[in-house]
Amino acid sequence: MLDVHVKFECRNPPGLCRLTPGAQYQEALRMAAWVDRKGFHTINFCEHHGAEDGYLPSPAVMAAATAALSETVRLQVNCVIPYHDPVRVAEDIAVLDIISGGRAEIVVLGGYVPSEFAMFGAQLNHRGQSIEEGVRVLRAAWTGEPFVFGERRARVTPRPVQRPGPPVYIGGGVPRAARRAAAIADGFVPMFPEAWAAYAAECERLGKKPLHKGAVTAFVTVADDPDEAWRELAPHALYETNCYARWQAETGVTGIFREMTDAEALRRLGTFPVLTPEECIRMIRSLGDEGHVLLHPLIGGVHPDFGWRSLELFADKVMPYI
């Protein structure tokens, strides 16, 4: 089934965003409650730390707030696991699952921003080990039984609603991450399309069905006049791509973002497509039943009015056809 995702980062770039951080967070929650009523499938809450623009640092808290305002939408929490105690993460996701009536999901990530690793006293070269250990702890914790983590004995109660536990996905962009996801996770969130091939091949080798869960490939905006909408979106899209590109460059991570100064060149690249409803319907139909579309209504601190227009057009003129 086609999966319609909405992504929230809650960025407030200086000079670009006209809202206070509090007002922006409230708009994100309003949007989250609205997309739930409209039948969207998944909301993804992102994680970064110490960013000048106030990037959301606590996605589980934001997801819990959304759980109280929603009924059916899946609540997907990004977790850069090297920064956290996985036992504590297991508790937070278990409580989120209980509050939401069994709608929690977690995307386990390795992280890549050196300043964040320094902030948490974590080590970049231990990312793979942290992911594997973290997934093992989550699985053990959600049984409700005592287990051993390192030299510690632990037990997580109460258990999540979902059994054996909320879905655990792994995100990444290199073949090793893809193979790891095939081996130990419920699905894969590829950072760019090429990573999917390595994941699918490893699933085939292991006799598993590959599960595509929220690939970050393009952030769709729907508008009646794409040229006019792009003029409003362009500075925010440029901010977004340049910020991620700089983070990627610090660690040599490969991804979909590139540093750019030319808005029209960025538009042609296709990372931030602005489509009419008809164009969006054609794009979605080309993806097939297992496709995925990602909406990012507050991208780069764009004004909420812009995001609302896109969401409403998608709900009114695209959703009925999918």
pLDDT in tens, 158-209: 999 999 999 999 998 888 999 999 999 999 998 877 788 889 999 999 999 8
Is the distance from CB of 32 to CB of 72 less than 8 angstroms?
no
pLDDT at 173: 83
Q: Are 284 and 322 in contact (CB under 8 A)?
A: yes
Query: Does 209 fall in a domain?
Result: no
The answer to whether 106 and 76 are in contact (CB under 8 A) is yes
Domain at 264, CATH number: 3.20.20.30
- The tens digit of pLDDT for each residue in 273-318 reads 999 999 999 988 887 776 789 999 999 999 999 999 999 999 999 9
Query: Is residue 8 included in any domain, yes or no?
Result: yes
Lowest mean pLDDT among 100-109, 112-121, 135-144, 207-216: 207-216
For the ranges 28-32, 36-40, 86-90, 283-287, which has the lowest average pLDDT? 283-287
Q: What is the pTM of this model?
A: 0.94
List the domain range (segments joined by +) for residue 45.
3-83+91-106+216-321
- Specify if 66 maps to a domain: yes
Report the pLDDT averaged over residues 153-160: 98
Q: What pLDDT shows up at residue 264?
A: 95
Confidence at 210, pLDDT banded by 50, 70, 90: confident
In a domain, 121, yes or no: no
Q: Which residues are paired to 188 by β-bridges?
A: 170, 212
- High-pLDDT (> 70) share of the chain, %: 96
User: Quick one: average pLDDT of 26-53?
Assistant: 96
Q: What separation, in Å, do the N-terminal and C-terminal C-alpha atoms of the chain show?
A: 9
Structure-token pair, residue 90: 């297991």
Residue 215: pLDDT band with limits 50, 70, 90: low
Task: Quote the pLDDT of residue 254.
Answer: 65
* Residue 233 domain flag: yes
Please state the domain count of the chain.
1
**Buried b vs exposed e over 249-276: b needs ≥16 C-beta within 10 Å?**
eeeebebbbeebeebeebbebebbbbbb
* Mean pLDDT value across residues 146-151: 94
